Structure 1
């Protein structure tokens, strides 16, 4: 299973005083560069002098957030996390703060900066301070004291902030390197910031690098500066009549879970029911004993209760070749597409040309030619990769007109090989890959020109949860865990299952810790569906607990790993089956609900044509299943292991 090249610990700023619009003598004005400053038109001498908004993915934006994240972790992180200062990143600037770049160039394409060098003047400024655009921050170091104040002082008393804007006359006092830090600072921090592990202790800080807020009284003459980081007061908003009312940011509250809109959505919200869903691509055990790739066309529960569930699976193949659907029992014979890394193709030509897509391959020539290989196997691999880079929202809830387009709200989305609903968790790509987002909204922002749709971008909103543990030295009297009424049932039940092992084996309990409410996440930042460890990864969990690794590893691939395009959201398909193209029969339809098929609807249970059994032969070509299931030691899941199922 591939891993990100660089791993970062994200910090989520939950409090902000940022404003995008401020009141200037009764007139609302933009809290940022003016319209004239945003105009990129050169003057009569050909000189350009303008500001541009820096996108979140821009290198300068990332650089600011990496520096701020490292300073935060260094200031209020744990001793054992001090080696992660360079791997920490602010998820985003506090709400209302935006980074702009001032670009200034000379005529004839020549450019210079304020030092007379050979580059454009490209200074960055962070706007959003509530007193207007003239109050802007010029560097991460300059903004850091204000950010630290936002995240640690719940009183919202600006006199407690030592940034150059809040305290222009503040005198920095160097703190002795060995001075003690207040023990209760981190008792206030979790509501405002977090890292991948809940911080619970201080780390050494270079006091000559970052100015630390100095605690002062809220009224009257400031008290004598001390050498401490701030110890916050009760969260009472301060009213400054001459500057307007500034309210303390609300405490972190979970978002209510949306209610299911259909039987299928309700079934998918249940614990340890059907792992696979209609419309998904899965690995399934074919009637010949080997595993292949197919589309879940239908699922049902048996009337006599002899089986937990059954699937009708359409094998993926090449255009013009349509293997019959097969009936597969739910359980160990069906696994998610992302459970395994994709094996190599059987045709040498396709192995040597990995950029050839499903639609580019000459399947007619491969199927009829003399070359060694199996067209159905390779077609299923390339078809699954192509489907992995598509998305299709479904069940539209409402549509809101927006500037130059529409904002469409959906109840679910097919993302790659998987089907995802509102109200359920997905795995996030950012950080170490163990955080989950419980989706509350699926929003598609569509730009249109006339009646033509020209652009589509999907954004998810919801609460971000992190896996957390608490010590439980006395198994007979374990500590009470935080309430989890807003956590989906599947997550709650899976955590209860984990704690049955963690409590006696590791003397600790785990829970889902809310770290960010109503967070906005781009579709491409989602790795895929979240699956219960207790259903798919039992042995991995037991091994992790035995090795004292915490019991929450990332044991699945991410959408886009198979194609190397994980940073791309993929291509919008208007209909789910459109994403499959010629890999499935044209007359195939997806069936919702759990009703069993009638006699005339039952799929074939025996394969026709190619046989993918162990060592089976097709014509003159011999093909062993080991060639197909070349997953590698790190990503192979042991099917049939009694410790898993």
Structure 2
């Protein structure tokens, strides 16, 4: 059989969930009753079941769609190849309507060599995912093809331009007749060349690949396909969210006389404003009391500033656990000079956290390769990140590039190591002359809600100041795969973090002039200026180690017991309550890194 050339439809309007008539979100798939495969009194089963991506029927759909697409757009020079859609557009899922008699099926399975499919009375495939809901499904590849063609060619993304039977009930009979007549053609075996696809078919919304790699996910996934989001994950994904910082994250905090390093133990709201319970880092013999911060401007992300040198030069290049802390606290290495053993402990502990990582909320039943595990989130150094949100990438030059995580995959390695792969679409931030006459023409990009709202804010600032500028995130690479060293850290909204990093007055001055910069340009990257080795930690407790009290507890927020979110100042008067860890919620926290291009600030001194 001739090789199939895969291509990807980058854009998608597919929805895993839709809002029904009762204003309630519902899965965009067959109903629960339709999924019930319980036989009736006579043993008859009438139900729907999902068709897996590697199922023969799913592959057949993708081959037919590939043949139709290239027959219409490929031209004669591409007529000697077979094509296949690498994956259905994101949000679209094939379901099969089956009817059979369970008793007859059981009997036929006992007959050696007889294929069970022969007893099925009905096996019809339907494609769900259209934004109009479960009742608007596609019945065949030819039925879906006009919609796929619109996804890949209409730059405006206006559904009114789509000629499929759902978007345009009258349809486009000419295109429909063409695709019904087309079917994939078997051809002679020919070597697969390495040449790129011709410009005329490499349209903005399509990527044609020269060889046949494993299938990839082409667009942002608005909801996890394999599992639902946790409550905390949903909270952190909301645009204009209440919190900038997350439990378990390493941050700088204002200690009145200076800035220190600590970890967020829990967060909450008072008068609808965020507050945080912080545990300062220290050496193992001088654990500090917790602090409550009710003002987010008194906190900075770890990557906002670079780590300074230790006050004792001899321990500067040691790891936290290599330091003889008993000798240090006895003053045996201070050479008669004033030293700060608490500060030194926090600096070295922060470097360990920065170079460590752990993953959490494993997705059971995920389609994974041998030795692989999929997770919903991880602690990447100082920060906590989730599947479904963007992370900043390291790239040459000054371009701002992010990857929107669709999968977090870990493959086990030697002790304290593993291979972590971030899978997702890569986008570059672009500034250009505005192509729109007014705001009513502005499109809504298929991006995570936080990115959509942030982009809208920045374009509104430029538009109000009549700058004639348009900002957008431009897709560079769909279904990309990146490793730990490629990720700089979390992506933050301009409107929420930049006033803190730049100062409110400077930020408002820039807004009035129509200028907004990305918060990421004012931050460092994980493991910048940090020689500590990369380490896979068992959990967040293991990562924080002896730099915090042994009974410190990092809250799981909405995913854990409500009692864990109670602040000491709202509990009955008593001795300062211990902060203790829950083992089950700390097994999955990320790795912490250090800064390259940022400022260094510690003990009240700003270092350039």
TM-score normalised by length of structure 1: 0.52
Q: Distance in 2 between matches of 1:346 and 1:153?
A: 70
Q: Kindly state the Cα deviation for residue 509 of structure 1 after the two structures are TM-superposed.
A: 2.2
Q: Distance in 1 between matches of 2:539 and 2:405?
A: 22
Deviations 1:489-527 (A, max 9, x none): 211121122122211332122122233222211122110
Q: 2:554 aligns with which of 571, 578, 590?
A: 590
Going from structure 1 to structure 2, the CA distance change for 1:516 and 1:473 (only over 3 Å counts) comes to closer
Which residue of structure 2 aligns with residue 493 of structure 1? Answer: 453
Q: Distance in 1 between matches of 2:574 and 2:388?
A: 33
Q: Secondary structure at the match of 2:400?
A: coil
Q: Secondary structure at the match of 2:223?
A: coil
Q: Distance in 2 between matches of 1:467 and 1:572?
A: 31
Q: Distance in 1 between matches of 2:543 and 2:432?
A: 45
Q: Kindly state the Cα deviation for residue 577 of structure 1 after the two structures are TM-superposed.
A: 1.1
Q: 1:384 aligns with which of 333, 350, 354?
A: 350
Q: Kindly state the Cα deviation for residue 455 of structure 1 after the two structures are TM-superposed.
A: 5.5
Which residue of structure 1 aligns with residue 410 of structure 2? Answer: 444
- Superposed counterparts of 1:276-291, under 5 Å: 276-286=245-255, 288-291=256-259
Q: 1:483 aligns with which of 441, 444, 458?
A: 444
Q: Secondary structure at the match of 1:554?
A: helix
Q: Kindly state the Cα deviation for residue 346 of structure 1 after the two structures are TM-superposed.
A: 1.9
- Superposed counterparts of 1:284-299, under 5 Å: 284-286=253-255, 288-299=256-267
Which residue of structure 2 aligns with residue 509 of structure 1? Answer: 470
Q: Distance in 2 between matches of 1:586 and 1:572?
A: 20
Q: Which moved more, 1:573-582 or 1:534-543?
A: 534-543
- Structure having the larger proportion of residues in helix: 2
Q: Contact conserved, 1:399 with 1:409, CA < 8 A, in 2? A: no
Q: Secondary structure at the match of 1:574?
A: coil
Q: Contact conserved, 1:357 with 1:382, CA < 8 A, in 2? A: yes
Provide the alpha-carbon RMSD of the alignment: 4.1
Q: Secondary structure at the match of 1:359?
A: helix
Structure number with greater CO (CA < 8 Å, separation at least 6) is 2
**Unmatched 5+ stretches in structure 1:** 1-15, 20-151, 162-190, 193-233, 606-624, 634-645
Q: Kindly state the Cα deviation for residue 277 of structure 1 after the two structures are TM-superposed.
A: 0.8
**Unmatched 5+ stretches in structure 2:** 8-69, 80-151, 154-178, 208-217, 559-564, 578-599
Q: Secondary structure at the match of 1:378?
A: helix
Q: Kindly state the Cα deviation for residue 478 of structure 1 after the two structures are TM-superposed.
A: 4.5
Q: Distance in 2 between matches of 1:156 and 1:238?
A: 14
Residues 1:632 and 2:598 are matched in the alignment: no
Which residue of structure 1 aligns with residue 395 of structure 2? Answer: 430
Aligned length: 382
Which residue of structure 1 aligns with residue 300 of structure 2? Answer: 335
TM-score normalised by length of structure 2: 0.55
Which residue of structure 1 aligns with residue 284 of structure 2? Answer: 319
Q: Contact conserved, 1:428 with 1:437, CA < 8 A, in 2? A: yes
- Superposed counterparts of 1:100-179, under 5 Å: 155-157=73-75, 159=77
Which residue of structure 2 aligns with residue 251 of structure 1? Answer: 206
Q: Contact conserved, 1:542 with 1:551, CA < 8 A, in 2? A: no
Which residue of structure 1 aligns with residue 235 of structure 2? Answer: 267
Q: 2:338 aligns with which of 354, 363, 372?
A: 372
Q: Contact conserved, 1:468 with 1:510, CA < 8 A, in 2? A: yes
Q: Contact conserved, 2:361 with 2:375, CA < 8 A, in 1? A: yes
Deviations 1:212-251 (A, max 9, x none): xxxxxxxxxxxxxxxxxxxxxx9x9996653379998983
Going from structure 1 to structure 2, the CA distance change for 1:251 and 1:474 (only over 3 Å counts) comes to closer
